[in-house]
Amino acid sequence: MVSESSMKTKEMKAALAVAVRAARAAGKLMRQNLCKAKVVNATTAYDIKLELDVRCQKLIEKILRAAFPKIALLGEEGDSGDVNATQRWVVDPIDGTVNYAHGIPHAAVSIALEIRSDADTDAFKAVVGVIYDPFQDELWTAIRGEPARCNGRVIHVSKRMKTSEAIVAIGFAKSKDNLRKSLPYFGRLARRVRKVRILGSAALSLTYVAMGRFDAYIERRIRLWDIAAGGLIIECAGGDFWHEAIPGHFRYRMVASNGRIGQQLARPR
């Protein structure tokens, strides 16, 4: 088993450098194809799956595997290797695919390196996180125990303490059950805070909390690859990242905040 304490800073920095290279490569592909016709692999009432999602993940995997051939990859577009081993990459090649498919330049690449934190449980903890917005050319990075950064500059969560002054991002799926529970929560939240934002990219909403653009971000149903990197970046920026596993394939509910506003917000159920 590789524990957090036994993974040296030098190794984490090497992993970070490779993840940055992979994120930038996928981001370049996204940027080149933003205004082009998209090949749609599948559509549902809730989502769109693009051929470019798959292509970006394959590119990311190629770069990661060239440097770390033994580390498994858990991705939105499929897994490779044993994702329950001691280490795994967690990848969302295009977080905000619906935005991207419609030509809206608000989407990002998200890559995290997780390690098993306890040999007796299935608990994993992110130790490296990278999120890249190719349209704003903003790159967020974090190594556990070190400051979070955006384009190399140390970032911090906001210091706002009043919910009435807060900007809070939220997202929710369109299933009947989720809407039944989420819409009343949304109504209560909208009355308490200054503004609510629904932007369509979990990774970017997390980074916006990490650098003080938002004060909190809430989701009732979200996948691990959407939040693994961003959750670490939040924590390394001085914020709070609460998440709880729920039934489903790597599914969670979460509240990310500056550590002040979040204490005043009810956790979604």
**Is residue 126 classed as helix, strand or coil in its secondary structure?**
strand
Which pLDDT does position 178 carry in this prediction?
75
Which pLDDT does position 2 carry in this prediction?
47
**Average pLDDT of span 66-70:** 96
**Average pLDDT of span 7-33:** 94
Q: Is the pLDDT of residue 43 over 80?
A: no
Residues 164-206: pLDDT tens digits? 999 999 988 777 777 887 888 888 889 999 999 999 999 999 9
Which pLDDT does position 5 carry in this prediction?
47
Name the least confident of 173-177, 222-226, 259-263: 173-177
Neighbour-count burial for 144-170, b at 16+ CB within 10 Å, e otherwise: beeebbbeeeebebbebeebeebbbbb
**Average pLDDT of span 60-69:** 97
Nearest to residue 215, comparing CAs of 268, 142, 149, 163? 163
Domains in the chain, please, with CATH? 9-154 (3.30.540.10), 163-264 (3.40.190.80)
Instruction: Please name every residue paired with 257 in a beta bridge, in sequence order, or none if there are none.
Output: 216, 240
